[in-house]
C-alpha cells in the first residue's frame, strides 16, 4: 500500500473519530471507546490490501461511515445490533419485506412512465428491469411481441 493511500485512510479514520465523538456503544462495536492513555481510541478494522480491495485506479474505498453519513451513529448501532442478534428467520423476513417494497416501487415507476400499458405489459417490463433485457427477452420473448397471454 502506498504512503499516500495510508495517509488518506488515516485522515478518514480521524474524520470518523471526530464525527462519532461522544457515541456510547458496546465494547465490541466499531465505535467502542476506551480511555486508556491520551485521548479516545476506537476499535479499528484491519487495513491491508486484501481487506480493502482497492480499485485499480488507486482510489481508497469509502468506509461504512462515509457511505452512511445520513445515519446517526446511535441508529447505526441499533441496526448493527439487529444484524448481529436477530434470528435468521427474522433477517429473511426483513429481506423479503424489502424485496416486496422494491418491486412495488419499481412497478409504480413503470406505471408512471408507461401509463397506457396493460398489466401484462407492465409485468413484462418489470421482468426486464429485474432480469435484464436479454434474459427477459429469452424467457418472455421480445417486448414488441407481447400478447395478453403473458402472466
- pLDDT for residue 61: 73
Mean pLDDT of 9-34: 57
Q: Residue 71 carries which DSSP code?
A: S
What b/e sequence results for 28-45 when a residue is b if at least 16 CB atoms lie within 10 Å of its CB, and e otherwise? ebbbebeeeeeeeebeee
Burial, 20: exposed, middle or buried (Cβ in 10 Å; 0-12, 13-18, 19+)? buried
What b/e sequence results for 106-133 when a residue is b if at least 16 CB atoms lie within 10 Å of its CB, and e otherwise? ebeebeeeeeeeeeebbbbbbbbeeeee
- pLDDT for residue 66: 78
Indicate if the pLDDT at residue 27 is higher than 60: no
Q: pTM for the whole thing?
A: 0.50
Query: Could you tell me the CA-to-CA distances from 64 to 30, 40, 52, 150 in Å, in that order?
Result: 10, 20, 12, 43
Question: Considering only 69-78, 115-124, 142-151, which range has the smallest mean pLDDT?
Answer: 142-151
CA–chain centroid gap for 53, Å, is 17
pLDDT digits (tens, 9 = 90+) for 53-68: 566 676 777 777 777 7
pLDDT digits (tens, 9 = 90+) for 77-112: 888 898 899 999 999 999 999 999 999 999 999 999
- pLDDT for residue 114: 94
Amino acid at each position: 500500500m502506498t504512503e499516500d493511500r495510508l495517509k488518506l485512510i488515516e485522515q478518514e479514520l480521524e474524520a470518523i473519530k471526530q464525527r462519532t465523538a461522544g457515541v456510547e456503544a458496546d465494547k465490541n462495536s466499531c465505535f467502542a471507546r476506551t480511555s486508556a492513555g491520551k485521548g479516545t481510541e476506537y476499535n479499528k478494522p484491519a487495513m491491508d490490501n486484501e481487506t480493502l480491495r482497492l480499485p485499480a485506479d488507486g482510489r481508497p474505498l469509502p468506509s461504512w461511515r462515509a457511505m452512511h453519513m445520513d445515519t446517526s451513529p446511535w441508529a447505526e448501532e441499533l441496526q448493527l445490533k439487529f444484524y448481529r442478534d436477530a434470528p435468521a428467520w427474522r433477517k429473511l423476513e426483513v429481506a423479503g419485506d424489502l424485496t416486496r417494497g422494491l418491486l412495488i416501487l419499481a412497478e409504480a415507476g413503470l406505471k408512471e412512465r408507461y401509463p397506457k400499458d396493460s398489466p401484462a405489459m407492465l409485468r413484462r417490463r418489470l421482468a426486464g428491469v429485474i432480469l435484464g433485457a436479454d434474459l427477459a427477452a429469452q424467457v418472455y420473448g421480445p417486448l414488441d411481441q407481447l400478447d395478453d397471454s403473458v402472466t
